[in-house]
C-alpha cells in the first residue's frame, strides 16, 4: 500500500511541478478512497506540497524556466498571487461553512473546464502582459481557495496564461504562490489543534520530492506551444471530471 501511495504522489507531483496543477486535485480524493480521513489528508497534502513547491521554485529558477529574483516581474506576480491566496486560506473555514460544498465543487469544475477550453483555443495566440489581469486572477484564486480549499493550480495557471504570462514562468509562479498558501493553510490546521499523520506526511514529502527535478527538466526541454496545450488539456480534463462527479451525485 505504501508503494502505491508513493507512486500516486510521484505522478501527482510530476504533473503539478510540470504543469502547475494536479497534486492536491489528484491525490486528495485517491487517499480518501483508500481510507484516510479527510482531516488527516488535507494538512498532509498542504505541508508536503509546501516542501515540493519550494523545491520546484529552486529547480525552475535554476533552469531559467522562471525568474524569481526579488524585484523581477515573475517574483512580483508570484508575491501578489501568494499574498492574496494566503488571505483566502485563512478565511476558507468561515466561508465554506456557509455555502453548500456541492455548489462550490460544481462552480470550480465549470470554471476550470471553461478556462481549459480557452487556453486550448488560444494555444497559438500570445497575450500582452497586464498587471491588472494578474491582480484579478489573484482575487479569483483567493475566492476559490477561500470557498473550497481546492481548484487552485488550474485557475492560477489558466489565469496567468490568459493574462499574457509566459507558460513556463507561470509554472514557477504558481509553485511560489501555492507554497505561501500551503504554509498559511497548514499553520491554520496546527493552530486549531488538528491531529497530524506524520507517517503519511513524510511518505508524501519523499515520493513527491523525487518527482520535482524530473518535472522541472521536462518544462525546460518541452516547446512552449506544446506545454501550453498540455496545460489546457489537463485543466479541461480536471474540470470535466469534477463536473461529472458532482452531477452524478459524487
97 has pLDDT over 60: no
Identify the CA nearest to 154 among candidates 174, 179, 135, 134: 174
The cell for 18 is: 510540470
pLDDT tens, residue by residue, 59-91: 999 998 899 999 898 998 899 888 887 887 777
Across 40-49, 72-81, 109-118, least confident range: 109-118
Q: What is the pTM (predicted TM-score) of this model? A: 0.75
| CA 23, chain centre distance (Å) | 7
Q: Say which residue the cell 527538466 belongs to.
A: 217
What CA–CA distance (Å, rounded) separates 129 from 161? 9
pLDDT tens, residue by residue, 125-173: 767 777 777 777 777 776 665 555 556 777 778 778 777 788 888 888 9
Amino acid at each position: 500500500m505504501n508503494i502505491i501511495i508513493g507512486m500516486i504522489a510521484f505522478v501527482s507531483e510530476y504533473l503539478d511541478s510540470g504543469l502547475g496543477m494536479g497534486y492536491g486535485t489528484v491525490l486528495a480524493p485517491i487517499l480518501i478512497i483508500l481510507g484516510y480521513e479527510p482531516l488527516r489528508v488535507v494538512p498532509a497534502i498542504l505541508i508536503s506540497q509546501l516542501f515540493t513547491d519550494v523545491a520546484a521554485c529552486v529547480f525552475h529558477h535554476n533552469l531559467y524556466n522562471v525568474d524569481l529574483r526579488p524585484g523581477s516581474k515573475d517574483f512580483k506576480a508570484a508575491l501578489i498571487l501568494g499574498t492574496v491566496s494566503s488571505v483566502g486560506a485563512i478565511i476558507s473555514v468561515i466561508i465554506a461553512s456557509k455555502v453548500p460544498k456541492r455548489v462550490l465543487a460544481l462552480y470550480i469544475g465549470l470554471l476550470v473546464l471553461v478556462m481549459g477550453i480557452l487556453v486550448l483555443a488560444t494555444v497559438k495566440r500570445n497575450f500582452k502582459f497586464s498587471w491588472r489581469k494578474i491582480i484579478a486572477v489573484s482575487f479569483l484564486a483567493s475566492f476559490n481557495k477561500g470557498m473550497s480549499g481546492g481548484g487552485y493550480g488550474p485557475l492560477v495557471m489558466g489565469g496567468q496564461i490568459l493574462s499574457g504570462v509566459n507558460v513556463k514562468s507561470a509554472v514557477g509562479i504558481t509553485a511560489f504562490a501555492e507554497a505561501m498558501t500551503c504554509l498559511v493553510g497548514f499553520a491554520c490546521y496546527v493552530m486549531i489543534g488538528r491531529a497530524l499523520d506524520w507517517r503519511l506526511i513524510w511518505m508524501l514529502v519523499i515520493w513527491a520530492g523525487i518527482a520535482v527535478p524530473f518535472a522541472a527538466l521536462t518544462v525546460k526541454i518541452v516547446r512552449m506551444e506544446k506545454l501550453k496545450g498540455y496545460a489546457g488539456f489537463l485543466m479541461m480534463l480536471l474540470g470535466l471530471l469534477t463536473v461529472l462527479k458532482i452531477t452524478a451525485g459524487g
